[in-house]
A = this chain, B = another copy of it.
Amino acid sequence: MDLKKIANETTTTLVSYLTYQAVKVVYEQLDETEPKRAYWLHQFSSSESIKDGDRFIEKLFRERPDLAFRVLTVREALSDSFADFLPDMLRSEMAKSNLKQRSQQLERMTQVSTEGDHPEQQRPSDE
């Protein structure tokens, strides 16, 4: 397990995801003040994939540098605002999600054994 590689890939994914959130923020801001530009950004975001945040920004720069600069500013502000909270939020969300999954599975296993003896439904762990 290459932890460093996974950490790097995770960070890149985060940057892309915050680009997507920043585009949404810029859209909402424009929608209140300049509906025409908001509409343009909406059309552009629908036609260009935002999965790769940096490629999206590059394409936006070619079409509307003003909006591209704005998205850069917003995504950096987003990252600055909650980077410090991320570790706690991530750990707590992960723990919550794992607890929920384990409880649900325990429930399913209990139901199976209460409903009768169906050993084939209880695949033994081969860990």
CA distance A122 to B1 in the complex (A): 48
Pairwise interchain contact A6-B78, C-beta atoms closer than 8 A:
yes
Given A69-B125, A72-B102, A94-B79, residue A86 in contact with residue B87 (CB < 8 A) = yes
Pairwise interchain contact B21-A90, C-beta atoms closer than 8 A:
no
Chain B residues whose CB sits within 8 angstroms of the CB of A64 once the complex forms = 123
Pairwise interchain contact B82-A3, C-beta atoms closer than 8 A:
yes
Q: Would you call the interface of chain A mostly helix, strand, loop, or mixed?
A: helix
A residues with CB within 8 A of B: 1, 3, 6-15, 17-18, 21, 25, 28-29, 37, 53-54, 57-58, 61-62, 64-66, 68-70, 72, 75-76, 78-91, 93-95, 97-98, 100-102, 104-105, 108-109, 123, 125-127
Question: In the complex, how many angstroms separate the beta carbon of A56 from the nearest chain B beta carbon?
Answer: 10
Pairwise interchain contact B105-A61, C-beta atoms closer than 8 A:
yes
Pairwise interchain contact A83-B93, C-beta atoms closer than 8 A:
no
Pairwise interchain contact A90-B94, C-beta atoms closer than 8 A:
no
